[in-house]
Amino acid sequence: MPDTLPLRLDVTNLSRSFGGRKVVDGVSLSVAAGQVTCLLGPSGCGKSTTLRIIAGVDRADAGEVRLDGQTVAGPGVHVPPELRSVGLMFQDFALFPHLTVAENVGFGLRLDRAEKARRVGELLEKVDLGGFGPKHPHELSGGEQQRVALARALAPNPRVMLMDEPFSGLDNRLRDGIRDRTLDLLKEAGTAVLLVTHEPDEAMRMADEIALMRGGRIVQKGAPYNVYNAPVDKAAAAFFSDVNVVRGISRGALTETPFGAFLTPGHADGAEVEIVIRPQHLRIDFDRGGRGPNPTPEDGVPARGTVLRSRYLGRESLVDFAMDFEGAKLTASVPGVFLPKPGTVLWLMIRRDRCFVFGV
Ligand SMILES: Nc1ncnc2c1ncn2[C@@H]1O[C@H](COP(=O)(O)OP(=O)(O)OP(=O)(O)O)[C@@H](O)[C@H]1O
């Protein structure tokens, strides 16, 4: 994150327990102006509770929340939610049904009539709903309602926007377009955004920084590229895609496997390690009459497998293999259409530069 951008949201060491169970456990994060941080993790890991504490609708047992440098929650401090001037957007964004679109967007604005009408008109144009002002929410599609909610959240020009699964009520076809439009508008306004999601694709698409959460803690923070390509552990790798695992024993910083030797520095002699590889980084080659391929050193040693099942998923094909060694099962994905018949014998190689090694 560039140092020059002012920090809008700064959270240190937040903790919260319910019934003796810590659901938020020492969470720290910060978001600068114009940046999007995605709090990503499985259901129940404490994302929403973190967001609710920052919004001020719940209180932490410990820790501090600062907005634009001002402490709004901390020891002896609790600024009520309505005075925190943060924008909020939740999955059930609940527009007021009896108010028009324009009245919904202008609801919280303390401006004179003409100024309010101008601001509402400008926001509706921005979310591509110019002319929708007199309509009522029930006359709008889900996607249009979502954009009204976005305009309403943006109306007071909040410096920080907190969003909890704001796109999950939309059907897939609409979702990508609305996500991109929302991102453009928030960036344009220089808003600092903390977005909660359980969908890795959404986080990869929206985030400048991903904070991966598990069991109440942030286990990894970084740019999407780094979190995807340098996961801290097997569970972090597996949160983003299916993974294949090959086990071995590290000896002299090397682990021998049916795919050849892997460098495993930092693992004790005799320690069990897991070599973790995403399906798209397994290389498939043909049998060539039983002779197998002739791989580069980066590809390691080829291992033979028999196709169990092939599936076409649109953008890619998934091929499941039963390997000749130890009855292991591995899955490879290939771009486009590749559907070898069950029983076909092929060779697999593991790209050395794309695998992750973890202690067991
Ligand atoms: N008010 C509450 N009282 C008791 N337990 C709660 C309360 N709020 C949340 N919890 C529990 O805390 C844990 C974390 O909940 P939270 O809603 O923060 O998770 P989440 O990561 O946002 O999950 P989801 O994506 O399913 O909303 C859950 O086990 C939940 O049941």
**What ipTM was assigned to the predicted interfaces of this complex?**
0.93
Closest Cα to atom 12, ligand 1: which residue? 23
Confidence of residue 167 (pLDDT cuts 50, 70, 90): confident
- Determine whether the shortest distance from the Cβ of 198 to ligand 1 is under 6 A: yes
263 and 307 in contact (C-beta within 8 Å)?
Answer: no
For residue 128, name the pLDDT band (cuts at 50, 70, 90).
confident
Q: Indicate which atom in ligand 1 lies nearest the CA of residue 165.
A: 25
Q: Phi then psi for 138, rounded to 5 degrees?
A: -65, -15
DSSP secondary structure letter of residue 125: H
Say what the pLDDT of residue 300 is: 87
Our answer on whether the CB atom of 197 is closer than 6 Å to any ligand 1 atom is: no
pLDDT given at position 3: 57
Q: Which residues contact 125 (CB under 8 A, 6 or more apart)?
A: none
pLDDT tens digit sequence for 88-123: 888 766 789 999 999 999 987 888 889 999 999 999
Q: Mean pLDDT over all residues of the chain?
A: 91
Contacts 24+ apart (CB under 8 A), 285-293: 285/346, 285/347, 285/348, 285/349, 286/346, 286/347, 287/345, 287/346, 287/347, 292/347, 293/347, 293/349
State if residue 46 touches ligand 1 by the CB under 6 angstroms criterion.
yes
Mean per-residue pLDDT for 170-188? 84
| pLDDT of the residue at 173 | 76
Q: What is the pLDDT of residue 207?
A: 96
Residue 111, token pair as written in the block: 């401006």
Q: What is the pLDDT of residues 322-340, one digit of tens each?
A: 998 877 899 999 999 999 9
Mean pLDDT of 40-49: 95
Q: Which of 27, 48, 202 to mutate to test the pocket of ligand 1 (most atoms within 8 A of CB)?
A: 48
- Residue owning the nearest CA to atom 2 of ligand 1: 18
Q: What percent of the chain has pLDDT over 70?
A: 98
| Category of 4 on φ-ψ map: left (φ > 0), alpha (ψ -120 to 50) or beta | alpha
Residue 46 alpha carbon to ligand 1 centre in Å: 6
Assess whether pLDDT exceeds 60 at residue 2: no
Above 60 in pLDDT, residue 296? yes
CB atoms within 10 A of CB 240: 20
pLDDT the model gives residue 93: 67
Residue 214 φ then ψ, to 5°: -150, 130
Interval 244-254 mean pLDDT = 94
279 lines ligand 1 (CB under 6 A): no
For ligand 1, whether the C-beta of 257 sits within 6 Å is: no
Q: Is the pLDDT of residue 176 over 90?
A: no
